[in-house]
Amino acid sequence: MGPDILSLIPAIAPGTLVAITAFVLAGIFMQRARTAAMLVMIAGLLTLLQNGWIIFNQTVLLEWMFDDVISSDTYSLIATAAAPHRSNPVPKVISRPIEAGWC
């Protein structure tokens, strides 16, 4: 059983407050500075979209991973939106600088 919505309040409350503030400010300044108000409104919408992603991630994607619907690697790719970089090998770490001639 996944997290209920009440446990997600600490994660989504800051973004929700920012979005509400953005909409209020956009409404106040729509007559004076229309372009700036529209940009603030877009920022508020993007913040709400991020909150939706947090809720989807915590309630759906994690449940799928725990229920073995998707693998943990697939979850990592979806949640971080990053593909593994196999073209850049990890550099070899020299653990003994004396053997490397650094001292």
**How confident is the model over 24-83, as pLDDT tens digits?**
999 999 999 999 999 999 999 999 999 998 888 888 888 888 888 988 888 888 888 765
Residue 91 in this model has a pLDDT that exceeds 70? no
9 confidence band (pLDDT: 50, 70, 90):
confident
pTM over 0.75: no
Q: Is residue 94 part of a domain?
A: no
Q: Is residue 85 part of a domain?
A: no
Domain carrying residue 74: 10-80
Map 53-80 to HEC letters: HHHHHHHHHHHHHHCCCCCHHHHHHHHH
93 confidence band (pLDDT: 50, 70, 90):
low
Q: Is residue 5 part of a domain?
A: no
Q: Which amino acid, 46?
A: L
Q: Is residue 99 part of a domain?
A: no
Kindly state the tokens that stand for 2.
């996944």
Q: Is residue 75 part of a domain?
A: yes
User: Domain tally for the chain?
Assistant: 1
Q: Is residue 46 part of a domain?
A: yes
101 confidence band (pLDDT: 50, 70, 90):
low
Model pLDDT for residues 39-48, shown as the tens digit of each residue: 999 999 999 9
Q: Is residue 52 part of a domain?
A: yes
The confidence score (pLDDT) of residue 58 equals 86
